[in-house]
């Protein structure tokens, strides 16, 4: 860049800084540079407002449900989200920064493993499509086994067995103990 024409400014090392980054030419968003965590704050704030709005417009009277009704938990969660958003924003604006990944054995410079992502997305989509026709036990077993396979487990005898047991136990817990009706599918008629 040419410093004589005003298209850049030299810094201490003699290199030229673009004019857009010069101290005198700050845009309205330049103060937010280095504060990307504020995006998380905005997301938390939006979700908190959404949860509170839904909770406060929910029907149900005190006489029908008692003091702790279906609105209690969403109101607590919505308020907690708002408090966390405000506290995090204050911390970020005061110069707080999140810690870098240091304790994990992860190479942050390595490219994403798109094969694993595609396998997981395919297994999830297949589970969603087969949920009603095959029922939760079969679709859930496919989800658990397919996820284990996509994440690197290659044991062809243990993985399907664990997936089937986990899926049937999950179905029985939700359907029998919690009273949440899930489609059983043709396999549940046999059991």
Domain spans of the chain? 1-30, 34-93, 114-190
Position 112 scores a pLDDT of 84
Separation of alpha carbons 174 and 181, rounded Å: 7
Position 103 scores a pLDDT of 60
Residues 6 or more apart from 182 whose CB is under 8 A from it?
135, 136, 171, 174, 175
| Terminal Cα-to-Cα distance of the chain (whole angstroms) | 77
Q: Which residues are registered as beta bridge partners of 8?
A: 18
**Residue that is written with structure tokens 């942050």 in the block:** 108
Extract the tokens encoding 172: 């029985």
**Residue that is written with structure tokens 């986990």 in the block:** 166
pLDDT tens, residue order, the chain (191 aa): 444 444 555 555 555 545 444 455 566 666 666 677 889 999 999 999 999 999 999 876 655 666 677 788 899 999 999 999 999 999 988 888 777 666 666 676 788 899 999 999 999 999 999 999 999 999 999 999 999 999 999 999 999 999 999 999 999 998 888 888 899 988 777 76
Asked whether the beta carbons of 55 and 74 are under 8 A apart, the reply is: yes
């Amino acid at each position: 860049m040419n410093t004589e024409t005003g298209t850049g400014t030299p810094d201490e090392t003699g290199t030229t800084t673009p004019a857009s980054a010069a101290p005198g030419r700050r845009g309205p968003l330049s103060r937010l540079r280095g504060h990307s965590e504020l995006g998380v704050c905005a997301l938390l704030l939006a979700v908190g407002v959404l949860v509170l709005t839904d909770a406060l417009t929910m029907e149900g009277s005190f006489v029908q449900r008692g003091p702790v009704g279906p609105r209690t938990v969403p109101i607590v969660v919505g308020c907690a989200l708002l408090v966390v958003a405000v506290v995090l924003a204050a911390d970020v604006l005061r110069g707080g920064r999140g810690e870098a990944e240091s304790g994990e054995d992860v190479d942050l410079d390595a490219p994403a493993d798109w094969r694993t992502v595609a396998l997981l997305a395919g297994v999830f989509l297949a589970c969603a499509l087969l949920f009603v026709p095959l029922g939760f036990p079969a679709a859930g077993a496919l989800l658990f086994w397919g996820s284990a396979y996509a994440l690197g487990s290659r044991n062809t005898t243990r993985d399907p067995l664990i997936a089937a047991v986990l899926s049937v136990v999950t179905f029985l817990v939700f359907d029998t103990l919690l009273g949440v009706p899930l489609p059983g599918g043709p396999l549940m008629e046999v059991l």
